[in-house]
Structure 1
Amino acid sequence: MQETWRWYGPFDKITLPEVAQTGATGIVNALHEIPYGEVWKPEAINARADEIRTAGFDWAVVESLPIHERIKRGEGDLTQLFANYRQSMANLAAAGVQVICYNFMPLLDWTRTDLAAPVARGGTCLRFEAYRMAAFEIHMLGRAKAEDDYPEEVRHRAAIWFQKSTDADREALLHAIMSGLPGAYDRYDVDGLRDALTLYDGLDRDALRANYRRFLNEIIPTAEDLGMRFCVHPDDPPRDILGLPRIVSNAADIDWIMSAHDSNANGLTLCAGSLGANPANDVPAIAAAHADRIHFAHLRNVRKDPDGAFEEAAHLEGDTDMVALIKVLLDEEKRRKSEGRADASIPFRPDHGHDLLSDADRETHPGYPLIGRLRGLAELRGVIAGLSHVD
């Protein structure tokens, strides 16, 4: 498996020389400065590729080539947006980048309610607190029917939190929820988010699936022609958020996606943390069912609470059997090698990490500290080495 590291380019407080010291050989990167829907020009791609390769790395995966929200909504004439997307793909392929990770989450990317929840022996982690999300949706956003999405106990705790909260508490909650948006784009305030949600009125699960199928039909044939591998990232968290449907949350969803366009170019980013936050998901089993279509892996762990809350655990702790999951990936690599496949090696990255030691002083992207991810990478590297030795 190829060890990679997510690097945010000019927005990252961590430098490529520092990343080199982690031992990772591949970089996961995107041109976050380019607005959604615009073409990634060859000049911009080649400049970033040269920067990465000059530092001694392979640009292993693009994460992400974002999908414009109009495509997710199926809104208006999408001809130019699809054409721009295909042109960006061609430009990336010409620069030697073959794997594209993306998601189909409406409006928001990953969502947390706390960016610095304390960890038992020191440090902090990302956390999704169900009652705080309920407080935001019901009491701050005032979303219609939000109460229907939460059980009575969670609603009760939400009301108590809101009554006791200060303006600073509410601002911190909004900041945490907005922090999953990548790059340098403006985050919404409460009024802005409320307005943005109106654009999704009437978008139910079936409609979002239909729009997703259209995206696959427009894009995957081009990926096949270019020799590229697309891999969808699961929803994070794997549940409806803000009344918007999520359609990449469980085993049945992934089964549907893989069959919606049956091609090796239509693959999966196996995110152990996102899938692991759903109590119904057996992550190693999902990986085994779709091993031949896994083109990228995010390895992290979560610890869940009965009310729907969860937090980032250390990479070898939490609720997912990480050793069993890595064995699935190594077995798949061995199978691919026996077939002589060019994509035999599966790139992975230590996804998220606790803020440890001096991480708190770096102000890196939430969930992407240096020391915490380095600890995770070292632990995962040890598991891979041990399993490889046994084999």
Structure 2
Amino acid sequence: MKMVFRWFGEGNDTVTLEQIRQIPGVEGIVWALHDVPAGEEWPMDKILQVKKAADKAGLHMKVVESVNIHEDIKLGLPSRDLYIDNYKKTIVKLAEVGVKVICYNFMPVFDWVRTDLHKELEDGSTALFYEKEKVAHLNLEEQVQRINANPNFTMPGWEPERLGRLTELFDAYRNVTEEQLFDNAKYFLEAIIPFAEKYDIRMAIHPDDPPWPIFGLPRIITGQANIRRFLGLVDSPNNGLTMCSGSLGANPANDIVSIVNEFADRIPFAHIRNVRVYDNGDFIETSHRTTDGTVDIAGIVNALHENDYEGFCRPDHGRHIWDEQCRPGYGLYDRALGIMYLWGLWDANRRKLQSGRMGN
């Protein structure tokens, strides 16, 4: 397992590369050009700026999250070929600087939805929270204002250019079904995966967050059966999965250990985080510790270890603790604690394996 840490770039993150470098076992950053709109070709000079900063800090930049998919690709519009061509051009540039994994998603309009960015937990920390009843009656304009109330931080999936087109986008998706979304994903994969193979980059689809339809929009990466179907659209090692335990874990019906065991060789990248799911369907993000949430974090790490996982892994959304002022979900302290918990589980598995070998 290769530990990495998400970083939003100089001037766009409260966490510095120097701080990331001091977290035990972290060898690289998970990065993106967050100021480049979806569908546009990434400029090489901006890519090289990130590389220069990462190199100086002694960190690699092998994982990108995300090269976002333009909505015209998801909608299957004639203009999609232009945006797919731009995606290919970006892949060529990323390969030049050593990128090995591109995390992306195929969620219509929104990458993620929460109703409260700072819900207080019992210990006084705060975390991202999803209230099912509120989502059912959510005023999207109010939600946009809530997201934009954090002007110092870009919020992936809620970029201003996307938020300004909500009415237009909802109209465009009005008659798009889950089957059509799968068809449009297949068209994208058939164009991109052979290209990714050529440049030795693994594409890693991120599960939908939350993993069910919202606001009448279809979702397709929601559970084990749909993941199996998606990976089968183009059956290649380069068509992979970002295993996100938090996104999948919001639905307790998802057996994430089983997902890891089935798709282990197709998981180049893993997001590991915990959520506590309530009986009414609400959920809140907790510490990474297994007993603090509903997700079997220990079982997931065990499964990765048993499958000799050599892909990249990062802690995902953390709580806001010790009065840290940071991007919602992306502070330093709780994610660093999460890394140490994951390493503890991993090292315990490794010690157990070594003891077993010596016993034999």
Among 245, 249, 252, the alignment partner of 2:218 is 245
Paired residues of 1:298 and 1:349 also in contact (CA < 8 A): yes
1:326 is aligned with what amino acid?
Answer: V
Q: How big is the shift at 1:75?
A: 1.3
Report the count of equivalent residues.
346
- Residue 357 (structure 1) aligns with: 322
* Equivalent runs, 1:339-358 vs 2, <5 Å: 345-358=310-323
Q: Deviations over 1:163-215 (max 9, x none)?
A: xxxxxxx84685259989418931777x9533431121211111111100111
* Equivalent runs, 1:1-391 vs 2, <5 Å: 1-10=1-10, 11-23=12-24, 24-136=26-138, 140=139, 171=142, 174-176=145-147, 181-182=155-156, 185-186=159-160, 193-316=166-289, 317-333=292-308, 345-359=310-324, 362=325, 364-391=326-353
Measured at CA, do residues 172 and 93 of structure 1 come closer, stay the same or move farther in structure 2, by a change above 3 Å? closer
Q: How big is the shift at 1:217?
A: 0.4
Residues of 2 paired with 1:242 and 1:384: CA distance?
A: 39
Normalising by structure 2, report the TM-score.
Answer: 0.91
1:218 is aligned with what amino acid?
Answer: A
Residues of 2 paired with 1:327 and 1:90: CA distance?
A: 35
Paired residues of 2:119 and 2:126 also in contact (CA < 8 A): yes
Q: How big is the shift at 1:331?
A: 2.1
Measured at CA, do residues 133 and 176 of structure 1 come closer, stay the same or move farther in structure 2, by a change above 3 Å? farther
Paired residues of 2:269 and 2:313 also in contact (CA < 8 A): yes
Q: Deviations over 1:101-158 (max 9, x none)?
A: 000001111110011111111211111001111221xxx35xxxxxxxxxxxxxxxxx
Paired residues of 2:260 and 2:300 also in contact (CA < 8 A): yes
Q: Deviations over 1:351-391 (max 9, x none)?
A: 011100021xx2x2211111111111111111111111111
Residues of 2 paired with 1:196 and 1:51: CA distance?
A: 36
Residues of 2 paired with 1:113 and 1:173: CA distance?
A: 11
Q: Deviations over 1:285-311 (max 9, x none)?
A: 111110110100000011111222111
Q: Identity over the aligned pairs, expressed in percent?
A: 39
2:315 is aligned with what amino acid?
Answer: P
Residues of 2 paired with 1:77 and 1:185: CA distance?
A: 21
Question: The residue matched to 2:284 in structure 1 has which SS?
Answer: strand
Residues of 1 paired with 2:57 and 2:186: CA distance?
A: 39
Measured at CA, do residues 173 and 197 of structure 1 come closer, stay the same or move farther in structure 2, by a change above 3 Å? closer
Residues of 2 paired with 1:306 and 1:358: CA distance?
A: 30
Measured at CA, do residues 306 and 253 of structure 1 come closer, stay the same or move farther in structure 2, by a change above 3 Å? same
Question: The residue matched to 1:116 in structure 2 has which SS?
Answer: strand
Residues of 2 paired with 1:87 and 1:209: CA distance?
A: 24
Q: Structure 1: 5+ residue runs without aligned partners?
A: 142-169, 334-343
Residues of 1 paired with 2:149 and 2:343: CA distance?
A: 32
Paired residues of 1:109 and 1:181 also in contact (CA < 8 A): no
Greater helix percent: which structure? 1
- Residue 339 (structure 1) aligns with: none
Residues of 1 paired with 2:166 and 2:37: CA distance?
A: 19
Paired residues of 1:111 and 1:177 also in contact (CA < 8 A): no
1:355 is aligned with what amino acid?
Answer: H
Question: The residue matched to 2:268 in structure 1 has which SS?
Answer: strand
Residues of 1 paired with 2:72 and 2:244: CA distance?
A: 25
Measured at CA, do residues 183 and 102 of structure 1 come closer, stay the same or move farther in structure 2, by a change above 3 Å? closer
Paired residues of 1:178 and 1:187 also in contact (CA < 8 A): no
RMSD: 2.0
Paired residues of 2:72 and 2:79 also in contact (CA < 8 A): no
Measured at CA, do residues 187 and 127 of structure 1 come closer, stay the same or move farther in structure 2, by a change above 3 Å? farther
1:329 is aligned with what amino acid?
Answer: L
Q: How big is the shift at 1:60?
A: 2.7
Normalising by structure 1, report the TM-score.
Answer: 0.84
Residues of 2 paired with 1:259 and 1:278: CA distance?
A: 23
Residues of 2 paired with 1:303 and 1:326: CA distance?
A: 18
- Residue 340 (structure 1) aligns with: none
Question: The residue matched to 2:23 in structure 1 has which SS?
Answer: coil
Question: The residue matched to 1:357 in structure 2 has which SS?
Answer: coil
Paired residues of 2:30 and 2:65 also in contact (CA < 8 A): yes
Q: Structure 2: 5+ residue runs without aligned partners?
A: 354-360
Question: The residue matched to 2:106 in structure 1 has which SS?
Answer: coil
Residues of 2 paired with 1:171 and 1:199: CA distance?
A: 21
Residues of 1 paired with 2:301 and 2:219: CA distance?
A: 26
